[in-house]
């Protein structure tokens, strides 16, 4: 009997990391157990692809025993949450109990700039740093994957309204450079590690896109992808924060996003790595390619409401 590979956070929207990893592994003929938060149409879609689906809560012991039992290799990823550290420790404890032989952890690249004496203003960054420490102390065979800012998770979500309405990218980034990485590239890295984890145990991989440039450069990339002129408008951080809160985003998430913006302005996201190319043997996707593939998101519709970020 083949031991399934466990993928947590598998029910994310189309294009999310967990779902992307499931799809890639199934295409390779792997046996996959996909963990979801609840039974819904997304869970059924995973079953239709060929995955075994387990519904449960990352914070619940019984859920994690059901998810992990029989799995030797697993991927742990969780969205921004005040419960992130507790969930990581809970999952790690159960993985240790079941003798998991490879634990791929989704972290963040900013952790490379943190230490016992250096942190950031984001509570989420601190939780990620502590989670990495806990996993290191656990004795589990861990592989740390640290992507920089995700193209789909940040730029597609937080620039689409202003691009649709005014052909502007409105972000409080100043002249700061950034090297956003595509979810597809992150998914390919994780799938490669899950397929052959043993040579990578104990290693840390940093994932970036193919170039680090400022937002004026990326506005030109948007322009090429969309066939119209897009410009970058630097905006103050505080009004942007208020707009995010007005959209109903949780305070914990907004604090994290604002810190990311502040770090961009300070040049802390100007970083490059060849790990995507090395691990996947493919060139990482460019901003222009990802925007072009999602061009419909940046086309004006009757549903657009003035004042969105």
Cα separation, 173 vs 136, whole angstroms: 33
- Specify the range with the lowest mean pLDDT, choosing from 15-29, 57-71, 117-131, 295-309: 295-309
Could you give the domains of the chain? 5-149+180-207 (3.40.50.720), 151-179+210-269+285-298 (3.90.25.10)
Average pLDDT over residues 127-143: 97
53-64 pLDDT per residue, tens? 999 999 999 999
C-alpha dihedral over 30, 196, 275, 145, to 10 degrees?
80
Residue 216 pLDDT > 70, yes or no? yes
Whether the CA torsion 144, 149, 154, 155 is positive or negative: it is negative
pLDDT of residue 303: 47
Report the predicted TM-score, pTM, of the whole model to 2 decimal places.
Answer: 0.94
Q: Residue 232: pLDDT band by 50, 70, 90 thresholds? A: very high
3-state per-residue secondary structure call for 130-145: HHHHHHHHHCCCEEEE
The 10s digit of each residue's pLDDT in 66-116 is 999 999 999 999 999 999 999 999 999 999 999 999 999 999 999 999 999
Q: How far apart are CA 140 and CA 77, in angstroms?
A: 16
**Is residue 304 pLDDT above 70, yes or no?**
no
Q: Where residue 2 falls among pLDDT bands split at 50, 70, 90? A: confident
Answer yes or no: are the C-beta atoms of 154 and 180 closer than 8 Å.
yes
Residue (of 218, 207, 212, 237) closest to 309 by Cα position: 237
């Amino acid at each position: 009997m083949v031991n399934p590979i466990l993928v947590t956070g598998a029910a994310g929207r189309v294009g999310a990391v967990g779902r992307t990893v499931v799809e890639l592994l199934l295409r390779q003929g792997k046996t996959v157990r996909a963990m979801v938060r609840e039974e819904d149409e997304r869970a059924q879609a995973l079953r239709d692809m060929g995955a075994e689906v387990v519904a449960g809560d990352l914070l619940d012991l019984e859920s994690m025993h059901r998810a992990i039992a029989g799995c030797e290799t697993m991927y742990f990823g969780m969205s921004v949450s005040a419960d992130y550290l507790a969930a990581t420790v809970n999952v790690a404890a159960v993985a240790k109990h079941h003798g998991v032989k490879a634990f791929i952890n989704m972290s963040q690249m900013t952790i490379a700039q943190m230490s016992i004496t250096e942190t950031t203003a984001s509570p989420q960054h601190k939780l990620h740093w502590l989670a990495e420490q806990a996993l290191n102390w656990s004795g589990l065979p861990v592989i740390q994957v640290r992507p920089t800012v995700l193209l789909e998770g940040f730029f597609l979500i937080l620039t689409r309204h202003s691009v649709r309405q005014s052909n502007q990218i409105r972000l409080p980034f100043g002249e700061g450079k950034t090297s956003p990485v595509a979810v597809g590239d992150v998914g390919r890295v994780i799938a490669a590690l899950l397929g052959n984890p043993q040579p990578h145990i104990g290693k840390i991989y940093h994932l970036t896109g193919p170039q680090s440039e400022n937002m004026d450069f990326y506005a030109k990339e948007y322009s090429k992808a969309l066939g119209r002129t897009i410009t970058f408008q630097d905006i103050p951080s505080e009004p942007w924060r208020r707009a995010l809160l007005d959209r109903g985003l949780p305070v914990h998430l907004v604090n994290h996003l604002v810190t990311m913006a502040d770090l961009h302005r300070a040049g802390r996201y100007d970083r490059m790595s060849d790990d995507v190319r090395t691990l996947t043997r493919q060139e990482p996707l460019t901003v222009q390619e990802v925007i072009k593939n999602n061009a419909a998101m940046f086309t004006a519709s009757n549903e657009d409401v003035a004042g969105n970020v």
